Amino acid sequence: MNKQEYTLSVFTENQVGLLARIAMVFSRRGINIESLNVSPTEIEGISRFTIVVQAPQETVRKVSRQIQKLVEVIKVYYNTNEEIVWQELALFKIETNIVSEKFYVERILRQYGATIVSVRNDYTVFTIVGHHEEIDRFLELLEPHGLIEFIRSGRVAVIKSNEAFHKKLTALEKMAYQ
């Protein structure tokens, strides 16, 4: 069975302990979570888990069905990278003197569309937004030039399909309050 990268979008009620229960589904099957992001959706009380895994499609399908059975879970989707629009954000802390003195570092920053977040005497913090591979390449280029610290977010993604999930959630929400 060929492993492939999948992004799961899990829409849930906002409940304490749900993250641990969802993570346990992956753990029991020996699947490592490559990236995880949890945030509120446009509908109050509804959260979205964006989970990236490397696994065979059949395994991802089974895991999705298992997660869907959790009481607080409203809907689970799994998609390949071709079916979603996605990005990550990364922060890079670099010595300020290197940024101001090294032309090639400045060129790298411009080439990748880096934005200054904070400037101090001893360091400058930049951010870039892009795909995982773009951030990796940027990191590789900066590492030899005074990189002090680096952190990246989990993936954020929206499904390319025109399916109006917001309408479905709104309808579910209305039914719940009747």
Tens of pLDDT, residue by residue over 116-136, are: 999 999 999 999 999 999 999
Q: Check pLDDT > 80 for residue 156.
A: yes
Task: Judge if 55 and 120 occupy the same domain.
Answer: no
- Separation between Cα atoms, residue 83 and residue 156, nearest integer Å: 13
Mean per-residue pLDDT for 163-173?
64
CATH code of 100's domain: 3.30.70.1150
What pLDDT is stored for residue 42 in this prediction? 83
- 23: tokens are 């993570």
Task: Judge if 68 and 28 occupy the same domain.
Answer: yes
Q: Check pLDDT > 90 for residue 113.
A: yes
Our measurement of the distance from residue 136's CA atom to the centroid of its chain's CA atoms, rounded to an integer in Å, reads: 15
- Cα 169–16–84 angle (5° rounding)? 45
Task: Judge if 8 and 30 occupy the same domain.
Answer: yes
Question: Does the residue 104 lie in any domain?
Answer: yes
Exposed e or buried b per residue across 141-153, where buried means at least 16 C-beta atoms within 10 angstroms of its C-beta: bbeeebeeeeebb
Going by pLDDT thresholds of 50, 70 and 90, the confidence category of residue 102 is confident
| CA distance readout (Å), 77 to 48, 74, 103 | 11, 10, 45
Q: Answer whether 156's CB lies under 8 Å from 87's CB.
A: yes
Question: Does the residue 178 lie in any domain?
Answer: no
Question: Under 8 Å CB-to-CB from 100, ≥6 apart: which residues?
Answer: none
Task: Judge if 97 and 42 occupy the same domain.
Answer: no
Going by pLDDT thresholds of 50, 70 and 90, the confidence category of residue 1 is confident
Task: Judge if 136 and 90 occupy the same domain.
Answer: yes
Question: Does the residue 160 lie in any domain?
Answer: no
Q: What is the pLDDT of residues 46-81, one digit of tens each?
A: 899 999 999 999 999 999 999 999 999 999 999 999
- 126: tokens are 């930049």
Domain count across the chain: 2
Task: Judge if 73 and 100 occupy the same domain.
Answer: no
Measured in degrees and rounded to the nearest 5, phi and psi for residue 104 equal -65, -30
What is the three-class DSSP state of 161?
A: coil
Going by pLDDT thresholds of 50, 70 and 90, the confidence category of residue 106 is confident
Q: What is the pLDDT of residues 19-53, one digit of tens each?
A: 999 999 999 999 999 999 999 988 888 899 999 99
Query: What is the residue range of 113's domain?
Result: 85-152
Going by pLDDT thresholds of 50, 70 and 90, the confidence category of residue 166 is low
What pLDDT is stored for residue 168 in this prediction? 66
- Separation between Cα atoms, residue 55 and residue 44, nearest integer Å: 32
Amino acid letter for position 93: K
